[in-house]
Amino acid sequence: MSRLAASVVIPTRGGAARLPVLLATLAAQETDDFEVVPVVDGDIDGSEEVLRSWADRLNLKPVIFPENRGRAAALNAGAAAAAGRIIIRCDDDLEPRSDFIAGHVARHSTQRCGVVGLTTNALPDTAYARAYGRKANARAIAGALALPAKRTWRLWSANVSVPAAVHSRLGGYDGRYRRYGWEDVDFGYRLHRAGFPIVVAPELIAVHHGASTTTAVRAVRALHSGAARETFLALHGQAALREFDGARSARKPGLWDRSGLWDRVVTTSSTFTTERTLRAYGAAADSAASWLPAALAEKLIALAVESAGIAGVRYPRRARGMF
């Protein structure tokens, strides 16, 4: 029997409510030359039972962890179980198009590369979304599409694909990343360093239903992402971080002590930032954003997000949760 064209690896934790949306779109794909490898990273909400209910509609190959091991471990277990020529990573909160799998496979037909499909956030109509979330999403997509080829590795994330042989050659994702994010950036960097081009495929963009919906959630994620950055720095050094940041300098003493008033406010705020203060401030900012002028509401939310990111870099132990 010929090898399947693709394996869709889905890392999931607490995804029982999210998985049906994704699985329905996978069941409606234009091709059936693929398998689905969901990896339940410790079942806390009946996700395994949800997967069982889809067994007659998809070629499912579930992997169930008895406890939380982290996203890197889940992605690696999915890749190890995969039989497809191309491994497509698809996070459990995405809603891809009907040509999602065929499109990823087609991108690999002409060159040996990594493919980034990007995501666009589906946000409810809230004060947070109106003041900050939608604008941030638009800026992120525009920035991604404008990146030069040598820096597209930094986009490696929730909707990506790579030949199985290349994934194996790189050794998969690094399990030392247990805070929010950067295990994917690390993989993209190593792919880039190994000489494989990373192609952005805007036609494969998928709707992202798991985006931050409040200031507190967005800021806490920024705190954890800033903390996870420390692992990347420890593994790859300042030069890699400068390459990630582009024109900005990598983290070093004095990085955030810039001359602008906004930067000074953000830097000062970061010294007091913890998960607890972010949740309290976030709730207040969302409440105020419903009646403040749009520009001021955006600044209030941006203060929380930017301060949290800096606090994660400077005080990584303040990011207390694990992912």
Q: How far apart are CA 186 and CA 65, in angstroms?
A: 23
pLDDT at 184 over 70: yes
Q: Is-contact 11 36, C-beta < 8 A?
A: no
Q: How far apart are CA 226 and CA 306, in angstroms?
A: 10
Over residues 96-101, mean pLDDT: 97
Confidence band (pLDDT; 50, 70, 90) for 249?
very low
pLDDT at 305 over 60: yes
Confidence band (pLDDT; 50, 70, 90) for 320?
confident
Q: How far apart are CA 278 and CA 239, in angstroms?
A: 31
Distance of alpha carbon 6 from its chain centroid, rounded?
A: 21
The 10s digit of each residue's pLDDT in 106-149 is: 999 999 999 999 999 999 999 999 999 999 999 999 999 999 99
Please choose, from the candidates 161, 205, 211, 210, the residue with its C-alpha nearest in 3D space to the C-alpha of residue 187: 161
- Better-predicted residue by pLDDT, 240 or 248: 240
pLDDT at 97 over 50: yes
Contacts of 170 (CB under 8 A, 6+ apart): 187, 190, 191, 194
Please choose, from the candidates 52, 41, 36, 34, the residue with its C-alpha nearest in 3D space to the C-alpha of residue 15: 41
Question: Could you give the domains of the chain?
Answer: 6-208 (3.90.550.10), 215-318 (no CATH)
Residue 252: its pLDDT value, please? 42
For residue 155, count CB atoms less than 10 angstroms from its CB and return exposed for 0-12, middle for 13-18, buried for 19 or more: buried
Residue 2: its pLDDT value, please? 58
Over residues 96-112, mean pLDDT: 96
Q: Determine what percent of the chain is predicted with pLDDT higher than 70.
A: 94
pLDDT at 275 over 60: yes
Residue 321: its pLDDT value, please? 63
Type of residue numbered 193: R
Residue 250: its pLDDT value, please? 39
Distance of alpha carbon 74 from its chain centroid, rounded?
A: 14
Residue 254: its pLDDT value, please? 42
Contacts of 55 (CB under 8 A, 6+ apart): none
For the ranges 85-89, 118-122, 292-296, 318-322, which has the lowest average pLDDT?
318-322
Q: Is-contact 96 206, C-beta < 8 A?
A: yes
Three-state DSSP state, 57:
coil
Going across the sheet that includes 119-121, the strands are 94-95, 206-208, 119-121
Confidence band (pLDDT; 50, 70, 90) for 253?
very low
pLDDT at 276 over 90: yes
Please choose, from the candidates 107, 29, 49, the residue with its C-alpha nearest in 3D space to the C-alpha of residue 38: 49
Handedness of CA 65, 68, 72, 73 (dihedral sign): negative
Over residues 191-209, mean pLDDT: 97
pLDDT at 91 over 90: yes
Over residues 280-298, mean pLDDT: 95
